[in-house]
A = this chain, B = another copy of it.
Amino acid sequence: MMKVIKTITALQEEIKAYKQANKTIGLVTTMGALHEGHASLIKAASEENDVAVVSVFVNPTQFGPTEDLDSYPRTLDADCRLAEGMGADVVFAPTPQEMYPSADMTWVEVTGNITKVLCGATRPIHFRGVATVVAKFFNLVQPDKAYFGQKDAQQVQVLQRMVRDLFFPLELRVMPIIREADGLAKSSRNTYLSAAERQSALILSQSLRAVQDSFAQGERTTAKLLEQVTNQIKTEPMAVIDYVSLYQLPDLTECPVQLSGRSLLAVAVKFGNTRLIDNVILEDK
Contact = CB atoms under 8 A, between A and B. Distances in A.
A131 B106 CA distance: 9
A109 B104 CA distance: 11
A101 B8 contact: no
A102 B166 contact: no
A106 B140 contact: no
B110 A166 contact: no
Contacts of A228: none
Chain A contact residues (Cβ within 8 angstroms of B): what range? 20 to 34
A176 interface: no
B136 A167 contact: yes
A280 interface: no
B169 A142 contact: yes
A107 B106 contact: no
A139 interface: yes
Nearest to A139: B167
A161 interface: yes
A7 B153 CA distance: 31
A172 interface: no
A140 B169 CA distance: 7
Contacts of A166: 106, 108, 132, 135-136, 139
A223 B234 CA distance: 68
Nearest to A113: B104
A114 interface: yes
12 contacts: A15-B169, A101-B164, A104-B111, A104-B114, A104-B251, A105-B111, A105-B165, A106-B111, A108-B108, A108-B109, A109-B109, A139-B167
Given A8-B167, A104-B161, 20 more contacts: A12-B169, A100-B165, A102-B161, A102-B164, A104-B111, A105-B112, A106-B109, A106-B111, A106-B161, A107-B108, A107-B111, A108-B108, A108-B166, A109-B109, A136-B165, A136-B166, A139-B168, A139-B169, A140-B167, A140-B169
